[in-house]
């Protein structure tokens, strides 16, 4: 698309623009890449290399760290926990956000503004303010009803999904607003209920926005440290907290930390990059309108 | 319209109800019981090289316990970074383990929360009585005049570990017994291109342990006799300055150590980069990092002059891990049995050998296994020249406030700023002001 | 987010025909799950947190905090007594956080916008670069920050290796994780992690600018730089309004980055307020004072957000007309 614009454009970009672009992007690439390179290369170094003077090139390559990480801490279990927690939180968050955003986008009702403002304002609550109270609430719900929220994955799922909810709702409102109302009104005329219109017309048209929201929700849940460190125990611990197990009493196993970090990052980064097309499209139509 | 209002009222009511239940705090789970006699949850601190190692050490013992009593113990090894937080949240919520490890310096602080089972004469009798334990270890189990809040499990003491090869190369024939000797030896070691002594400048607990001992050596205390913080008295200021000066003035601690907080100094020692290490019961740790036992020597921590003893001759804190029982436990009887098992002579031998610590139980301590030369130093330190950290309710705040002050001082040294009596005093004054008002 | 729309919205249901009255319940039903969850996880805990801030909630009472004595405004007085160390430290931490947030948000926005603008046109490798640039944002916080810790080490870190050993820019290796430099270390990590988000949003915003605008400008003889100044930047205004607010709130409340970078006791120069409050409540076991500090922080953020929205929205409305 942009080629066509360039073709029409009477003048090519000035060389000052091209040069500054080259320099800027090169520097930026370096800034972005160096830590990534360090992570990858250090994860393949023997322990002596990473505890001694820094060196750009490893003295020898080893995959030992990738084998050791699984036994130093129960990484596999943390991985599964994180998958369950982040996955469930994402699914719930997206579904709930779709409902809420649909209501706000398509209906006029009393309290709409109060709702949006309240939900959005929770974004500014310092987590530290409600950490302890939330924890007390979970414990008391557990005592009163027998539903174990504290220390369980359920409690963490519940917590994380509300973290991403405000931003998700807000983004989806923007996205749904951009889906022409004629479409769902036509569906209503065809005899679909409002929910039918939502799922048959609005949701399919809003897939990029929904994917963007899902990616955001997943990442929020995947990396959270503060609540996870207080609300989980040995069996429910997530990766973000579990990774700290590598800096243990004795020595900091930097190569294992890097290897584990990489293992933990690959699924998210890969997923993120695969979905980035949707992400940009979703943001274009949703958030930035 | 009515339904909307009803919904709003409902939401508000529900939130208030939730708030009310939360306000109940732990009260609904106030007392302990024997409701679930067949299971126990045990939180162990991370003592071994990794959590996996701890599990390997502890699980067979727990199986043994199950065989003897039919009680299944669910083990969770909690990393140090999380332990205090986890205990706090457990205390707040009343949902915690039945039995847990605590750093012995936290005893009085945790005792003040009222969450731990007090070991009165009756409870102590169930585990064989107070007399089974070494006095120094019992001195770190809670505030004076109160029933102990915990039972000693592992005891540790600081010692001076030194690299024999580096000492020989530098022409040093025996380990330093006083700080002056250590500084003199440090010059010889520096001349050989090695760093003399390690420290964990950004590790608050390590900082506290050292400045506490230095304060003792200057006849000073961080708390007055009636438990009020007194961080700015001359003795304390001199003590803190002396410790920081090891890096600032005497140059025996490399400035790089100012940012150490994850036991990098132990690694430096194990790798032969550094000649000396002040550490508590480091044998197992050094071994796991590949340093053979014959390559290092172990000596008492230096004093100002003379030989280690009591009073100003103190050269270590009483370090160690205590075993505590949560008052809210649903298996108080089983928990007591478990404490009895863990502090039994046989288990004490097995566990303390695995962790290269000293058994706080007299009968176990006299076992031949703990008569090696290195253990001899630790044992005699514990018996004759170790002092317990202040057993006051504010101990954990003290560790944070003063530990941070020392960390900041080390950071100043690293940044090339001068350390003066005034600057030390100012930092300590700030730390004191941060202590809870009485 | 327009201030005047409230009246119109509340007036609308009245205009509805009676036959549709049953429908009115539906939006509430759709909102219910979100509302309940927000109540449970955010609003009710916040109310409890506010209640706590009026209590003397120290280690003696945490076991049953219903019994903790009320202190009235005691916790607040301690927090804002700027002559005493606790208040002074809080104020210091507040200023550090403000400076850090302004710099970080500014840099994130600047780098993100520049990159997005430079990459508006296609060129070889653009897709690859774009994917690459998003990696820092996609990395889990812990993994990203711990890598930086590794690089910032005094003795064995890459940063000192490059600055000191290879480029000889410093006389001796610097400390990055303690002391005054820690501020820059924190800023670097924060910008590294944060700018791709700005990049992403601005990139999306650029796609909404109608091409005709550029074509018309080009016909008028406007060069690349002029097009940037006259079309691109003004068109990004609404995007920037939200982007900067979101970045501001996230950066100001960021806990994970400083916590992983420095641990429980942050150096004074990088003592961000979230970690400061965490330390005030968890490490020193004084949850009352910690809550009071959080409430003050919340008030400040409400004030800033409200002011920001009022200010930028007014400017935007006049610009639109």
At C57, is the pLDDT very low, low, confident or very high (cuts 50, 70, 90)? Answer: confident
Residue A136 in tokens:
């007390």
User: Which domains are delineated in chain C?
Assistant: 81-320 (1.10.3720.10)
Question: What pLDDT is stored for residue C22 in this prediction?
Answer: 53
At C207, is the pLDDT very low, low, confident or very high (cuts 50, 70, 90)? Answer: confident
Question: What ipTM was predicted for this assembly?
Answer: 0.85
Does C59 contact chain B (CB < 8 Å)?
yes
Can you say whether residue C142 is alpha, beta or left, with left for phi > 0 and alpha for psi between -120 and 50 degrees? alpha
Question: What pLDDT is stored for residue B27 in this prediction?
Answer: 37
Distance CA(B12)–CA(B5), nearest Å, equals 11
Q: Is the pLDDT of residue C272 over 80?
A: yes
Break chain B into its structural domains and give their ranges. Answer: 31-156+320-387, 158-317+394-433
For the segment(s) B31-156+320-387, the CATH number from 3.10.129.10, 3.40.190.10, 3.40.50.10420, 3.40.50.720 is: 3.40.190.10
Widest Cα–Cα separation across chain B = 93
Does A118 contact chain B (CB < 8 Å)?
no
Q: Is the pLDDT of residue C97 over 60?
A: yes
* CB burial readout C256-280, b (16+ within 10 A) else e: bbbbbbbbbbbbbbbbbbbbbbbbb
User: Which domains are delineated in chain A?
Assistant: 2-64 (no CATH), 67-285 (1.10.3720.10)
- Best mutation target among B92, B204, B232 (most C Cβ atoms within 10 Å) is B92
Strands B72-78 and B39-45: parallel
> Sign of dihedral through CA atoms C107, C108, C114, C115?
positive
**Does C143 contact A254 at a Cβ distance shorter than 8 Å?**
no
Q: Which residues in chain A show pLDDT less than 70?
A: 1-12, 247-251, 285-289
Question: What is the Cα gyration radius of chain A?
Answer: 24
Does A17 contact chain C (CB < 8 Å)?
yes
Give the chain A residue nearest C225 (alpha carbons).
A17
**Does C192 contact A35 at a Cβ distance shorter than 8 Å?**
yes
Enumerate residues 97 to 126 of chain A having a beta carbon within 8 A of any beta carbon in chain C.
97, 99-100, 102-104, 106-110, 112-113, 115, 117-119, 121-126
Model confidence pLDDT, tens digit, residues C285-297: 788 888 999 999 9
Closest by alpha carbon to A2, among C207, B214, C153?
C207
Give the chain C residue nearest B432 (alpha carbons).
C85
Distance CA(B365)–CA(B387), nearest Å, equals 19
Least confident among A87-91, A223-227, C102-106, C181-185: A223-227
**Does A226 contact C256 at a Cβ distance shorter than 8 Å?**
yes
**Does B19 contact C89 at a Cβ distance shorter than 8 Å?**
no
- Return the percentage of chain C with pLDDT > 70, whole number: 90
Q: How far is B111 from chain A (nearest CA, A)?
A: 21
Give residue for tokens 């964990």: B200
Does A147 contact chain C (CB < 8 Å)?
no
**Does C40 contact A137 at a Cβ distance shorter than 8 Å?**
yes
Helix (H) or strand (E) holding B100: strand B99-103
- Range of A206-215, C2-11, C59-68 with top mean pLDDT: A206-215
**Does B436 contact C58 at a Cβ distance shorter than 8 Å?**
yes
Q: Is the pLDDT of residue C312 over 90?
A: no
DSSP string, B147-187: --SSEEEEEE-EEEEEEHHHHHHTT--S--SBHHHHHHHHH
Secondary structure string (H, E, C) spanning C253-293: HCCHHHHHHHCCCCCHHHCCHHHHHHHHHHHCCCHHHHHHH
Q: Which residues in chain B show pLDDT less than 50?
A: 1-5, 7-9, 11-12, 14-30
Does A20 contact chain B (CB < 8 Å)?
no
Question: What pLDDT is stored for residue C23 in this prediction?
Answer: 62
Give residue for tokens 């850090």: C100
Question: What pLDDT is stored for residue C310 in this prediction?
Answer: 86
Residues of C in contact with A194 (CB under 8 A): 23, 26
Q: Is the pLDDT of residue C165 over 60?
A: yes
Distance CA(A101)–CA(A98), nearest Å, equals 5
**Does B15 contact C44 at a Cβ distance shorter than 8 Å?**
yes
- Best mutation target among B79, B85, B113, B149 (most C Cβ atoms within 10 Å) is B113
Q: How far is B74 from chain A (nearest CA, A)?
A: 11
**Does B79 contact A244 at a Cβ distance shorter than 8 Å?**
yes
Does C187 contact chain A (CB < 8 Å)?
no
Q: Is the pLDDT of residue C10 over 50?
A: no
Model confidence pLDDT, tens digit, residues B101-110: 999 999 998 9
Number of neighbouring beta carbons within 10 Å of residue B85: 16
Enumerate residues 7 to 46 of chain C having a beta carbon within 8 A of any beta carbon in chain B.
24-25, 28, 35-36, 39-40, 43-44
Model confidence pLDDT, tens digit, residues B264-315: 899 899 989 999 999 988 888 888 888 998 999 999 999 999 999 999 999 9
pTM value? 0.87
Helices (H), B271-307: 283-288
Question: What pLDDT is stored for residue C258 in this prediction?
Answer: 92
> Sign of dihedral through CA atoms C208, C211, C217, C222?
positive
DSSP string, B358-379: B-SBHHHHTSGGG-SHHHHHHH
What is the CATH topology of the domain spanning B158-317+394-433?
D-Maltodextrin-Binding Protein; domain 2 (3.40.190)
Q: What is the mean pLDDT of chain C?
A: 84
């Amino acid at each position: 698309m942009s080629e066509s614009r360039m073709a029409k454009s009477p003048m090519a970009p000035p060389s000052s623009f091209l040069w500054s672009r080259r320099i800027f992007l090169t520097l930026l690439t370096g800034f972005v890449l160096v830590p990534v390179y360090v992570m990858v290369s250090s994860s393949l170094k023997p322990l002596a290399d990473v505890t001694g003077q820094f060196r750009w090139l490893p003295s020898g390559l080893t995959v030992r760290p990738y084998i050791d990480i699984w036994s130093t801490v129960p990484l596999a279990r943390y991985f599964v926990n994180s998958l369950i927690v982040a996955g469930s939180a994402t699914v719930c968050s997206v579904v709930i956000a779709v409902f809420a955003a649909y209501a706000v986008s398509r209906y006029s009702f009393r309290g709409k503004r109060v709702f949006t403002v309240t939900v959005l304002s929770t974004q500014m609550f310092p987590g530290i303010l409600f950490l302890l109270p939330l924890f007390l609430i979970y414990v008391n719900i557990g005592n009163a009803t027998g539903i174990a929220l504290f220390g369980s994955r359920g409690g963490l799922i519940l917590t994380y999904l509300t973290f991403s909810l405000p931003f998700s709702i807000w983004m989806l409102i923007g996205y749904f607003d951009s889906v022409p109302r004629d479409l769902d009104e036509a569906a209503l005329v065809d005899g679909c209920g409002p929910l039918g219109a939502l799922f048959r017309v609005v949701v399919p048209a809003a897939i990029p926005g929904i994917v963007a929201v899902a990616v955001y929700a997943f990442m929020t849940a995947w990396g959270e440290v503060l609540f996870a460190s207080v609300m989980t125990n040995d069996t429910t611990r997530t990766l973000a907290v579990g990774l700290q197990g590598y800096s243990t009493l004795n020595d900091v196993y930097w190569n294992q930390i890097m290897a584990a970090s990489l293992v933990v990052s690959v699924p998210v980064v890969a997923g993120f990059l695969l979905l980035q097309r949707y992400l940009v499209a979703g943001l274009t139509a949703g958030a930035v309108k | 319209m009515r339904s909307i209002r009803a919904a709003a009222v409902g939401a508000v009511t529900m939130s208030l109800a939730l708030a009310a239940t939360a306000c109940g705090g732990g009260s609904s789970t106030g007392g302990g019981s024997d409701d679930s006699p067949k299971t126990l949850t045990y939180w162990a601190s991370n003592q071994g090289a990794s959590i996996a190692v701890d599990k390997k050490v502890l699980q067979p013992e727990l199986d043994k316990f199950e065989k003897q009593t039919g009680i299944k113990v669910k083990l969770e090894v909690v990393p140090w970074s999380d332990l205090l937080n986890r205990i706090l949240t457990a205390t707040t919520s009343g949902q915690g383990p039945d039995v847990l490890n605590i750093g012995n310096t936290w005893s009085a602080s945790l005792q003040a929360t009222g969450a731990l089972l007090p070991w009165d004469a009756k409870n102590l009798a169930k585990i064989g009585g107070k007399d089974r334990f070494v006095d120094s270890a019992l001195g770190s189990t809670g505030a004076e005049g109160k029933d102990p809040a915990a039972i000693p499990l592992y005891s540790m003491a600081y010692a001076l570990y030194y690299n024999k090869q580096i000492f020989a190369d530098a022409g040093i024939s025996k380990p330093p017994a006083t700080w002056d000797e250590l500084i003199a030896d440090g010059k010889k070691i520096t001349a050989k291109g090695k760093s003399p002594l390690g420290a964990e400048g950004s590790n608050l607990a390590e900082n506290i342990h050292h400045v506490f001992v230095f304060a003792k050596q200057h006849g000073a205390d961080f708390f007055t006799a009636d438990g009020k913080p007194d961080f700015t008295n001359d003795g304390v200021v001199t003590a803190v300055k002396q410790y920081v000066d090891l890096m600032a003035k005497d140059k025996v601690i490399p400035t790089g150590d100012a940012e150490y907080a994850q036991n990098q100094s132990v690694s430096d020692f194990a790798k032969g980069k550094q000649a000396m290490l002040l550490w508590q019961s480091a044998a197992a740790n050094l071994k796991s990092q590949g340093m053979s036992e014959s390559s290092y020597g172990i000596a008492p921590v230096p004093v100002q002059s003379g030989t280690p003893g009591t009073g100003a001759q103190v050269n270590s804190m009483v370090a160690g891990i205590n075993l505590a029982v949560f008052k809210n436990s649903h298996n108080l009887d089983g928990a007591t049995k478990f404490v009895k098992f863990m502090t039994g002579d046989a288990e004490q031998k097995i566990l303390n050998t695995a962790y290269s610590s000293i058994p706080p139980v007299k009968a176990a301590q006299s076992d031949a296994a703990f008569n090696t030369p290195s253990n001899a130093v630790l044992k005699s330190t514990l018996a004759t020249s170790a002092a317990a950290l202040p057993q006051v309710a504010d101990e954990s705040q003290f560790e944070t406030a003063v530990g941070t002050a020392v960390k900041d001082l080390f950071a100043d040294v690293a940044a090339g700023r001068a350390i003066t009596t005034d600057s030390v005093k100012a930092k300590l004054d700030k730390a004191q002001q941060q202590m809870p008002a009485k | 987010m327009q201030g005047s729309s409230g009246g119109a919205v509340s007036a609308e249901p009245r205009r509805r025909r009676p036959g549709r009255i049953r429908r009115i319940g539906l939006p509430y039903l759709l909102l219910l799950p979100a509302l309940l969850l927000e109540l449970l996880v955010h609003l009710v805990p916040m109310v409890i947190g506010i209640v706590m801030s009026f209590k003397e909630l120290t280690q003696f009472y945490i076991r049953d905090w219903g019994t903790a004595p009320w202190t009235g405004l005691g916790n607040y007085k301690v927090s804002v007594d700027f002559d005493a160390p606790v208040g002074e430290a809080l104020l210091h931490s507040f200023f550090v956080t403000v400076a850090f947030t302004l710099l970080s948000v500014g840099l994130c926005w600047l780098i993100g916008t520049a990159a997005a603008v430079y990459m508006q046109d296609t060129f070889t490798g653009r897709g690859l670069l774009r994917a690459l640039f998003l990696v820092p944002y996609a990395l889990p916080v812990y993994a990203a920050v711990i890598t930086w810790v590794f690089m910032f080490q005094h003795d064995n870190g890459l940063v000192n290796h490059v600055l000191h050993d290879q480029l000889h820019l410093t006389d001796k290796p610097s400390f990055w994780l303690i002391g005054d430099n820690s501020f820059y270390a924190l800023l670097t990590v924060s910008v590294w992690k944060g700018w791709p988000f700005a990049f992403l949003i601005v990139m999306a915003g650029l796609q909404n600018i109608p091409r005709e605008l550029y074509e018309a400008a080009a016909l008028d003889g406007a060069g690349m730089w002029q097009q940037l100044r006259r079309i691109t930047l003004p068109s990004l205004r609404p995007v920037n309004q939200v982007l900067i607010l979101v970045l501001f709130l996230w950066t100001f409340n960021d806990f994970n980055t400083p916590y992983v970078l420095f641990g429980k006791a942050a150096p004074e120069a990088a003592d961000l307020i979230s970690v400061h409050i965490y330390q005030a409540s968890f490490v020193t076991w004084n949850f009352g004072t910690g809550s009071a500090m959080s409430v003050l922080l919340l008030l400040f953020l409400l004030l800033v957000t409200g002011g920001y929205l009022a200010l930028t929205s007014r400017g935007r409305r006049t610009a639109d007309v």
